[in-house]
């Protein structure tokens, strides 16, 4: 077989499996309910646990309202649905915050920091590649490839390799997200939308910048040249 034919098959996105309209509506409202509820849990961090839970629950119920009364309607127009990765992270965050009062930095205790760093770097890089793809800088459409089975197979192989190397909860996150995507094809039928969304991408970059600034500040304080 010709190499060009093989290349076209590998990047093909013909006849993708797409979710139904009812599933799209459900994941839109439920997804934004989880994200906004966890956001309320974050900004009300200094309140008592019971008050935080009540406020988050009210936000969740508000988001689940049908039609234009729900913030999910307007957020969906601008940003579509959150990714499965965002939902998994926010749901875990929300459940831990409801159970007990914790500092934001302590909501992921004893996780594999190295695996988290790999996921952080991968998410940031993927976001930049998708952004460059919107400018048609690649010989094929990276985003359109996400509808095909070959893209899912490649991502699954990489995620499985990370889990085999690290064997931790953090390294299993992509596998859990891919399993949800394979069963439902949500949120859009594109594997990239299941792994990443614009808000998660921005959050990853902000988190990396804050962490880098803290490390730089700590290194300056410990440096002999900066000591008084």
pLDDT digits (tens, 9 = 90+) for 120-166: 899 999 999 999 999 988 888 899 999 988 899 999 999 999 888 88
> How far apart, in whole angstroms, are the C-alpha atoms of residue 77 and residue 140?
27
> How far apart, in whole angstroms, are the C-alpha atoms of residue 133 and residue 70?
32
Does the CA dihedral 63-77-150-154 come out positive or negative? negative
Place of tokens 């299993």: 172
pTM (2 d.p.): 0.80
User: Are 166 and 116 in contact, with CB atoms under 8 Å apart?
Assistant: no
Q: How many residues does the chain have?
A: 228
pLDDT above 90 coverage of the chain, percent: 34
Q: Give the domain extent around 7.
A: 3-226
Domain count, the chain: 1
- Say which range, 43-52, 61-70, 113-122, 206-215, has the weakest mean pLDDT: 43-52
Instruction: Render pLDDT for 49-85 as a digit per residue (tens, 0 to 9).
Output: 788 888 888 999 999 998 889 999 999 888 888 999 9
Alpha-helical segments (H) within the chain: 3-10, 21-43, 49-63, 71-79, 84-99, 113-134, 142-145, 149-166, 169-184, 191-195, 198-222
**What's the mean pLDDT when you consider all of the chain?**
81
User: Are 63 and 33 in contact, with CB atoms under 8 Å apart?
Assistant: yes
Residue 105 has pLDDT above 50, yes or no: no
> How far apart, in whole angstroms, are the C-alpha atoms of residue 174 and residue 208?
19
Supply the pLDDT for residue 140.
Answer: 84
Q: Looking only at Cα atoms, what is the longest distance across the chain?
A: 71
């Amino acid at each position: 077989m010709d190499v060009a034919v093989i290349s076209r098959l590998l990047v093909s996105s013909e006849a993708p499996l797409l979710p139904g309209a009812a599933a799209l509506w459900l994941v839109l409202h439920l997804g934004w309910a989880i994200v906004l509820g966890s956001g309320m849990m974050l900004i009300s961090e200094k309140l008592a646990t019971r008050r935080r839970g009540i406020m988050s629950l009210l936000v969740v119920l508000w988001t689940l309202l049908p039609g234009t009364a729900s913030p999910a309607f307007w957020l969906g127009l601008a940003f579509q649905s959150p990714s499965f990765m965002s939902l998994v992270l926010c749901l875990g965050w929300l459940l831990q915050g409801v159970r007990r009062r914790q500092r934001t930095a302590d909501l992921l205790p004893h996780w594999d920091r190295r695996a988290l760093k790999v996921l952080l770097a991968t998410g940031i890089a993927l976001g930049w590649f998708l952004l460059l793809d919107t400018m048609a800088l690649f010989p094929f459409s990276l985003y359109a490839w996400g509808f095909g089975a070959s893209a899912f197979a490649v991502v699954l192989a990489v995620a499985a390799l990370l889990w085999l190397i690290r064997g931790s909860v953090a390294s299993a996150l992509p596998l859990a997200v891919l399993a949800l995507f394979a069963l439902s094809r949500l949120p859009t039928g594109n594997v990239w939308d299941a792994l990443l969304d614009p808000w998660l991408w921005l959050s990853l970059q902000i988190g990396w910048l804050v962490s880098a600034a803290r490390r730089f500040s700590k290194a300056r304080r410990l440096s002999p040249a900066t000591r008084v």
